[in-house]
Structure 1
Amino acid sequence: MTKASIRIIASDLSRVDPLALDQLARAAEFEGLARIVGLPDLHAGRGIAVGAAYWSPDMLFPHLVGSDIGCGMALWETDQPVRRFRLDAAARKLRGLDEPWDGDAGAALSKAKIDPALGGAALGTIGGGNHFAEFQRVERIVDIDRFEAFGFRPDAVWLMVHSGSRGLGQAILDDWTRSRGTAPAEASGEAGAAYLAAHDRAVGWAVLNREIIARRFCEKLGLAAVRRLDICHNSVTPYEGGWLHRKGAAPADRGLVVIPGSRGDFSYLVEPVVGQAAGALCSLAHGAGRKWGRNDAHGRLSKRFRPSDLERTALGGRVICEDRRLIFEEAPQAYKDIGGVVGDLEAAGLIRVIASLRPLLSYKTRRS
């Protein structure tokens, strides 16, 4: 059996998580996989490395996509100037957002051509883990020509939403695992076609979910907003005659990409470089990537800080996270340096940076 080739995009391989490298090496032995790319945010996942892209000429591997099918980032430009954004006042108004959306979920799903029976109760909610909504401002414009060409306003408040398909993606993976374990399927076969159909529904659900989340947050603050991008990090799509599985990897063939740092670091608005993406399986880093696992982060940080210590960041931002464990697990210290991740992508010729964004108010969860 021929193993899949592996390319790691990193300026210093000694700093790459060795467990993640081991997970890539094991994945390279999967029959039917041909190429693997590890991106600069590569880190170990639950058996499968996150921050990677996997290509097969004819097979689907649902466990490489994982449970949160369609998870991704949407970026919205609001109509409010930064000078009028009052941090504490905004934080007070952001309540009731963990509760079910009071809109017509069935109608919204039907309009998006999605079965209205698919998980309407969770629609418009962020979920747990590393998901969030974050208000931001432009920190620095790197490429003024491209920034202006897209019609962006340098003084606008932005909203970034990171969420996915909630329980829907988990149910799809669970169904697959119960019947087939981690076995792949031919994309052209009956099982493969059924998975792709379910996958595409979950991706559509996740896109709609991010849209409704953004709408809910903006309504709380009386803002209007325009969606500037929406990209998916966990998916399988046709590519070069085969099937490209992205697990925590942003697409380089869908226009602009936002690469978030931790809630205490900058995010980067970037443009993929046309003609350079093929060597990286048309994929980019999807964020900073974890430096510490969740248990490790909690163990390290809960001994040094109180939860209230982590509600303000070094960049002057505010964090709303009333889950006492999650605030440690998702602390900035648990993540890699986003500047290094973006720098590695630039060095590989994969992106040009348009602007950096400073976090103002990061929302994870609120108990009341």
Structure 2
Amino acid sequence: MVFELDDEGEKVKLNWPQEELQENLHPEQVLVIVREELRRIFIWKGPKSPVRKRFISSRVAQALQEELMKDARYHRCKIVSVDAGDEPAEFLRAFRLESMDVSERLEDMRYIRNVEREGLIQLGIVVEPKQFTPKEKVEEEYFSPALQETDQKVKASSLTPSSPRPRTVSRAKSSQTKPYPSRTQSGASNEKIEELKEKILKTELSAEYKRLNLILGHTLFAAVSKTAKIFGKDIIETDWEPVKKVPEGMLELENHVLRVYFDADKGIVEAVEVLEKDDSLNSKSSPKITQVKKTAPKKKGAPKKKTSLTPMPNKPSSLKAERKSKTGGRR
């Protein structure tokens, strides 16, 4: 996607194919170019573009960055400023362009505000833009690595002890020398970090663990999930982005596993992968066991014995004799 800024600071979308980008670049233009697959938003500034457009372009690029972050189909893009004639190497490689030959440009990016300009005109002072005078080109042979070594040896032999000033070597522009990849705070290039990230994410992971964080150089990365609705279905995409705020001091990890990636050629640690156990898998794989209490069978009681009847006691003999006497008297 290519956007051009008009005189009022509004962005206008242009339908330019990538092959025709070099032909359509104009010195007075300011373009905002989005390369989502590279996660970059380039602000291309022509050498004769107005200063007002240059300042507005950064605000437009930030608004466009926030717009893309709200859409789950797009990732967070980094904003890169590109000045014509001094283009960074990643911009030239991305569009297969050559550095623009600039003969005139705004001097030191300085400008006079309209209020100050009107005041100077009232005093009779005419403010005119200064013409750019190109500096003499430095011989390219001096900056080649082989010739630079020979020059250093010759200059070192010609130095005298009385000279207090250290020797200064002027550096050539990035468009004249071999382009160097952009580097992060850790010293590793962005391309190297992307390669390491892909290498780690392609590495097989045990089913018991899941990735928690990645440490690439001095940068901590975390997984960011984005949900997009496609045909009524929620699709979750996971992207690994650098953590902006990290905890202070020291942090101890318990019940975590670390996987360390080494670079044997350089003898350094490339990356560290932090893993943690996936509790959701353990809960699904191990079903709950319901304990059943076994009751002991009841013991059969012994059969009840029939109670024996007590026999009637025999009558005493005195009662028998008394009864006989009574019956005899009645006769």
Higher RCO (Cα < 8 Å, 6 or more apart): 1
Normalising TM by the smaller chain, what interval?
under 0.3
Scaled by the length of structure 2, the TM-score of the pair is: 0.19
Q: TM-score, normalised by structure 1?
A: 0.17
Larger Rg: 2
Greater strand proportion: 1
